Amino acid sequence: MGFLTFRGGVHPSEKKEMSQDQEIKVLKLPDTVYMYTSNHLGAPAKPIVEVGEKVKTGQKIAEASGFISANLHSPLTGEIVSIEKMVNAASGRKDDVIVIKKTSEDDWQLLPHNDDFTKFTSEEIINNIKEAGIVGLGGAMFPSHVKLMIPKGKKAETLIINAAECEPYITIDERMMLEKTDEIIKGIEILLYASGIEKAYIGIEENKSKAIKTMIEKTNGKNIEIKTLKTKYPQGAEKQLINAITSKEVPSGGLPIDIGVIVFNVSTTYAIYDAIINGKPLVERGASLTGEGVKKPGNFLYRIGTKVNELLENVGLIDEENIDRILYGGPMMGIPLPNIELPTFKGNNAITVLTKDILPKREDFPCIRCSSCVSVCPIGLQPYLLKKYSDTRNYDTALENGLMDCIECGSCSFICPSNIELAKSFKTAKKVVRAMKQRRG
C-alpha cells in the first residue's frame, strides 16, 4: 500500500513496543513542582505571585509577556516557596523558576467552561486557549492561541492534527488516541469551530494500526479524515507532515499559515478540549517514561514541573553504571540532561533513558562524500557542505545554501558513516547567525 510521505528521511529502530501497550497511569501529586517561566517558545512569562503566597491548582502564577509567550499556572494547591534560577537544559541558560510546595490535595481554580463549546464565540475560544497557557505539546512549545490568530491577508483552509509520532520509543500520542479518543475528536471540533476551517486531517504513521483503526471508526461521519503515513523519521516534522498530506510545501522562511495550514499535535488537541470543556489550564500532560534504562517503561499523566528523578521513580532505573544519558524527548531530537534533578516542561512528551550497551562507541572518520546525508535530508540541504561552511565560519555562504532552512532533525548525523556531528554544527551556526543579526539590528 502506498502510504503518504515526504522525500528523504531515515529509519531508526522504532522501539515503540516497550511502552506501546501500557495504559496511561495518573501519577500521584508531587510534593513540589518547579515551573520555568520559559515554559514555551518566545519571551518568558512574568511572575505575578510572591514568595509565601497561597495558590490553587490552575491558578495563574505568571503572565505571558509578549506576542509569542504563554501564561503559566500552578500545578498544585500549595504555597510559593521561592523564585530561583535553575539551569534550563534546553537553552543551557539559567532561567527563573517558580517553586511551589503542595499543602493539600487539588483545589481547582477553573477557567470559564461549557460542555457545549458553541456557546462560546470563536474569539472567546481562542482567548480561553490563551488564558489556559496552552502550547504545542509535541515538543516545540509554540503558544497555541498564536496559531489560531490568523494574520491579515492570510486564510486558514486546512487543519492538520499531528499524530505521526515518528521519534523512536515515544508512545504517548498513540495511547492518548486510544484512551482519550472522544476528547481528542471533540478538541478537533473545537479547533475547526474556532478557526472556521471546514475539514481536519489526522496524520498517523502506519505503525500505529490500532490508533488508526480507532480513529477511523470514531470519526466516521465527521469532517475529520485519517491519513496513514509511512513510518519514517522525521514524518512528524511540521513541514514534512504538511507536505505528505497536502503535497504543498511551506515556503522557505515561512509558516504553515502561508499556505493556509495550521497544525496541532494530538496531545495539544486534548489539552484544548480540557481547557474549553472542563476549564482546566495546562498543568498536566502525558508522557512516555521509557528506554532500556528504565525497568518498567510506561505512559503517565504527570504534573508539569515535576522533577525528572521523581517521575522516573515510577518506572525504576536499572543499574546506574549502565545508564549513558537521559533525554527530554526521544533519541533523535531529545535534549540530554546534565543531571537528573531538573524539572519537566510543558513540552516533555517523553523522558528516555538510554543505556551504554545500546549506544556502542563509534569512531570518527573524515567525510568520504558518500552522499548519504544529502539523500536523507528532508529539506534538500547538502549537510556535508553546510558543515564545511559552518566550521570555517563562512556563514554567508552557509546562509545561501539554506542553513536557516535546516529543521535540526538530525537525519544527516544519524546516517553519516563517519560519525560527523552535522546537525550539532547547524544548531550552533544558526544560533550564531541569529545573534549576529540581532546585534546588527
Residue 339: count other Cβ atoms within 10 Å of its Cβ: 10
- Residue 243 binds which one of other proteins, ligand SF4, none, with CB within 5 to 8 A depending on kind? other proteins
The DSSP bridge pattern shows strands 77-87 and 350-355 to be unpaired
β-strand partners of 327: 336, 352
Nearest 5°: the CA angle 290, 294, 299 is: 35
- CB nearer to other proteins: give 104 or 252: 252
Please report which residue ranges of 108-233 form alpha helices under DSSP H: 122-131, 144-148, 172-179, 181-195, 209-218
Diameter of the chain measured on Cα atoms: 63
Q: Which of 149, 359, 370, 436 binds ligand SF4 (CB under 6 A)?
A: 370
- CB nearer to ligand SF4: give 331 or 383: 383
Residue with cell 554567508: 396
What distance in Å separates the CA atoms of residue 46 and residue 287, rounded to the nearest whole number? 27
Q: Is 377 annotated as a binding residue?
A: yes
Helix-helix angle 122-131:181-195, to 10 degrees: 120
- CB nearer to ligand SF4: give 345 or 384: 384
- Residue 250 binds which one of other proteins, ligand SF4, none, with CB within 5 to 8 A depending on kind? other proteins
204 makes contact with ligand SF4 (CB under 6 A):
no
Counting beta carbons within 10 angstroms of the beta carbon of residue 441, is it exposed (0 to 12), middle (13 to 18) or buried (19 or more)? Answer: exposed
- CB nearer to other proteins: give 24 or 327: 327
383 makes contact with ligand SF4 (CB under 6 A):
yes
The DSSP bridge pattern shows strands 46-47 and 60-63 to be antiparallel
- CB nearer to ligand SF4: give 149 or 368: 368
Cell digits of residue 184:
481528542
- 3-state secondary structure at position 424: helix
What distance in Å separates the CA atoms of residue 208 and residue 231, rounded to the nearest whole number? 9
What distance in Å separates the CA atoms of residue 204 and residue 235, rounded to the nearest whole number? 9
Pair 59, 321: CB distance under 8 Å: no
What distance in Å separates the CA atoms of residue 432 and residue 195, rounded to the nearest whole number? 36
410 makes contact with ligand SF4 (CB under 6 A):
yes
Q: Is 373 annotated as a binding residue?
A: yes
User: Can you list the positions of beta strands (E) in 28-92?
Assistant: 32-36, 46-47, 54-55, 60-63, 72-73, 77-87
Measure Cα distances from 244 to 235, 236, 304, 322 in Å. Answer: 8, 10, 32, 39
- Residue 263 binds which one of ligand SF4, other proteins, none, with CB within 5 to 8 A depending on kind? none
Q: Is 166 annotated as a binding residue?
A: no
377 makes contact with ligand SF4 (CB under 6 A):
yes
Q: Which stretch binds ligand SF4 (CB under 6 A): 36-44, 200-208, 292-300, 377-385?
A: 377-385
241 makes contact with ligand SF4 (CB under 6 A):
no
Q: Which stretch binds ligand SF4 (CB under 6 A): 40-48, 111-119, 320-328, 364-372?
A: 364-372
What distance in Å separates the CA atoms of residue 30 and residue 309, rounded to the nearest whole number? 11
- Residue 42 binds which one of other proteins, ligand SF4, none, with CB within 5 to 8 A depending on kind? none
What distance in Å separates the CA atoms of residue 251 and residue 259, rounded to the nearest whole number? 8
- Residue 335 binds which one of other proteins, ligand SF4, none, with CB within 5 to 8 A depending on kind? other proteins
418 makes contact with ligand SF4 (CB under 6 A):
yes
Interface residue list for other proteins (CB under 8 A): 10, 12-13, 168, 239, 243, 249-254, 320, 323-327, 331-340, 354, 359-360, 362-363, 365-371, 374, 377-382, 384, 401-402, 405, 410-411, 413-419, 421, 423-424, 427
392 makes contact with ligand SF4 (CB under 6 A):
no
Cell digits of residue 31:
510534593
Q: Which of 4, 200, 250, 409 binds ligand SF4 (CB under 6 A)?
A: 409
Q: Is 416 annotated as a binding residue?
A: yes
Q: Is 370 annotated as a binding residue?
A: yes
- Residue 323 binds which one of other proteins, ligand SF4, none, with CB within 5 to 8 A depending on kind? other proteins
Q: Which of 117, 169, 328, 384 binds ligand SF4 (CB under 6 A)?
A: 384
| Binding site residue list | 367, 370, 373, 377, 406, 409, 412, 416
Under the rule (CB under 6 A), what is the footprint of ligand SF4? 367-373, 376-379, 381, 383-384, 406-412, 415-418, 420, 422-423, 426
| Binding site residue list for [4Fe-4S] cluster | 367, 370, 373, 377, 406, 409, 412, 416
